[in-house]
């Protein structure tokens, strides 16, 4: 199974898992040309511009984003149950040539906030982290806070995040991965300060 098929399966599971609150319905994304989210990512606006001649500098390698393990959804618990859930619904990307052989990556993330049995309308936010990786090495990573508003009488709300200008070095132009997840970047635990060895006791004069 390829990385692309695994990613498609994960995103499909996330979308299927969004049926959390009564009245919430899964929606099938419209075709690319009629999807404002996709148009914003690709063209910088909500509508598709007139067709232009094909570029001679198209990037051959632009991997499908993967959902970070454990980063597809965040739930808020309370009152013995789920109050709300924020989940990734759709991820897309585009790659363009940069200076000196680098690759400039643009990643768009669309998600949804859903009310649980104990939740109430309002604003719901969560950090969205986009990473460019080469194996286990983090090439670049950015985190920004996404917010979705659920108005009174509604059971869900959506958010959109776009990260632009993620630079991939020329040496990694054909061997990098894109990873997206809810939650902040992992941090290494702080090291305990080293204790200096105790000085030997001073010799007493004989």
Asked whether residue 17 is domain-assigned, the answer is yes
Asked whether residue 120 is domain-assigned, the answer is yes
- Write out the two tokens for 25: 């319905």
CA separation for the pair 195, 155 (Å, rounded): 55
- Write out the two tokens for 70: 């454990």
Position 78 scores a pLDDT of 81
Total tally of structural domains belonging to the chain: 1
Q: By the 8 A CB rule, do 77 and 83 touch?
A: yes
Position 118 scores a pLDDT of 84
Position 86 scores a pLDDT of 96
Asked whether residue 39 is domain-assigned, the answer is no
Asked whether residue 35 is domain-assigned, the answer is no
Domain enclosing residue 74, as ranges: 3-25+56-182
Position 173 scores a pLDDT of 95
Position 44 scores a pLDDT of 56
> Scanning the structure block, which residue is given the tokens 């970047």?
185
Q: By the 8 A CB rule, do 127 and 74 touch?
A: no
Asked whether residue 204 is domain-assigned, the answer is no
Position 184 scores a pLDDT of 72
Q: How many CA atoms lie within 13 A of 177 on its CB side?
A: 14
Per residue in 89-115, pLDDT tens? 999 999 999 999 999 999 999 999 999
Position 77 scores a pLDDT of 87
Asked whether residue 158 is domain-assigned, the answer is yes
CA 155 vs. chain centroid, Å, equals 23
73-76 contacts at long range (C-beta below 8 A, 24 or more positions apart): 73/14, 73/17, 73/182, 74/126, 74/182, 74/183, 75/116, 76/116, 76/119, 76/124
The pTM assigned to this predicted structure is: 0.64
Asked whether residue 89 is domain-assigned, the answer is yes
In a structure prediction context, what are the per-residue pLDDT tens digits for the chain, which is 206 residues long? 544 444 444 444 333 333 343 333 333 334 445 566 566 565 555 555 444 444 435 788 999 999 999 999 999 888 778 899 999 999 999 999 999 999 999 999 999 999 998 889 999 999 999 999 999 999 999 999 999 999 999 999 999 999 999 999 999 999 999 999 998 754 333 333 344 445 555 555 54
Asked whether residue 205 is domain-assigned, the answer is no
């Amino acid at each position: 199974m390829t990385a692309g098929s695994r990613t498609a399966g994960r995103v499909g599971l996330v979308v299927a898992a969004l049926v959390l609150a009564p009245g919430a319905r899964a929606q099938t994304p419209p075709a690319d040309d009629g999807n404002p989210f996709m148009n914003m990512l690709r063209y910088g606006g909500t509508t598709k511009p007139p067709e232009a001649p094909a570029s001679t500098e198209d990037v051959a390698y632009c991997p499908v984003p993967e959902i970070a393990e454990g980063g597809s959804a965040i739930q808020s618990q309370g009152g013995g149950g789920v109050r709300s859930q924020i989940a990734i619904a759709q991820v897309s990307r585009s790659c363009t040539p940069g200076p000196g052989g680098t690759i400039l990556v643009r990643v768009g993330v669309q998600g949804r906030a859903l009310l649980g049995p104990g939740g109430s309308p309002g604003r719901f936010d969560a950090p969205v982290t986009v990473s460019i990786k080469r194996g286990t090495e983090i090439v670049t990573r950015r985190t920004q806070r996404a917010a979705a508003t659920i108005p009174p009488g509604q059971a869900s709300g959506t958010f959109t995040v776009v990260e632009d200008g993620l630079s991939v070095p020329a040496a990694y132009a054909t061997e990098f991965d894109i990873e997206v997840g809810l939650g902040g970047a992992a941090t290494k635990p702080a090291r305990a300060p080293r204790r200096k060895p105790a000085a030997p006791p001073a010799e007493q004069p004989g």
